[in-house]
Each structure stands twice: as structure tokens, then as C-alpha cells.
Amino acid sequence: MKRTDAERIDRELRRARKKQEILSKVEARKERSAAGWAQALLERLVYDEEEVFNTAEDEDLLEVILEMKEALPEKQWEPTLKKAIRLTKVAKRQESFEKLRPLLEI
């Protein structure tokens, strides 16, 4: 193997490692942000065009909310929940928020 081939392979390996590090940093940042938590809540909500259905009986939703409460400061809890409800594009957003708000107080 020529020296140039070895250098090329080394460069490709360094690029691959650097790309992987950057992707992991982006994922970690996204998970810690309010937008990441809103997306996680959105994935667990059951809804139609009118309203959100699973409020207090869904254990997965409660688990995500408890994790969110540990990760985010208290002043971001309600806006994050509101953003998740807004992302559902339901008609009764305020009513859905009022149903889910008691879960923040647990």
C-alpha cells in the first residue's frame, strides 16, 4: 500500500469519527431542549381533529412528563406542553391543555 493510500484512509476515518461526534452532540442537544420534549410528548398523545384523548390514564405519557420535569426548569413545563398540543393541530387546544395540566403537578 502506498503512503498516499494510507493517508487517504486515515483522513476518511477521521472524517467519519468527526461526523459521528457531531451527530451525537446534535442529538444530545435536541433531547435536552424544550422542543425535543415537546416532540416526545407529541409521539405519546392520542388525538383526532378535535381533541387529545389520553390524559391521565396513559403511563407512557406520564413517564415522559416526569422525565421532562427533571430535565427542564419549572417555567418551561407549561410552554412545552402547550407546544406539544399545538403540534397536534387539534381544534380544542385549550381544553386539551386543561386536561393535561394536572399531570404537571404530580
Strand partners, 47: 52
Mean pLDDT of 21-32: 72
- Sequence-separated (6 or more) residues with CB below 8 Å from residue 53: 46, 47
Rounded to two decimals, the pTM is 0.67
Q: Which of 9-18, 32-41, 47-56, 59-68 has the lowest mean pLDDT?
A: 47-56
Report the candidate in 104, 2, 12, 3 with the shortest Cα–Cα distance to residue 55: 104
pLDDT tens per residue, range 45-65: 888 888 888 667 778 888 888
pLDDT tens per residue, range 64-85: 888 888 888 889 999 999 999 9
Query: What are the percentages of helix, strand and coil residues in the chain, rounded to 5?
Result: 75, 0, 20
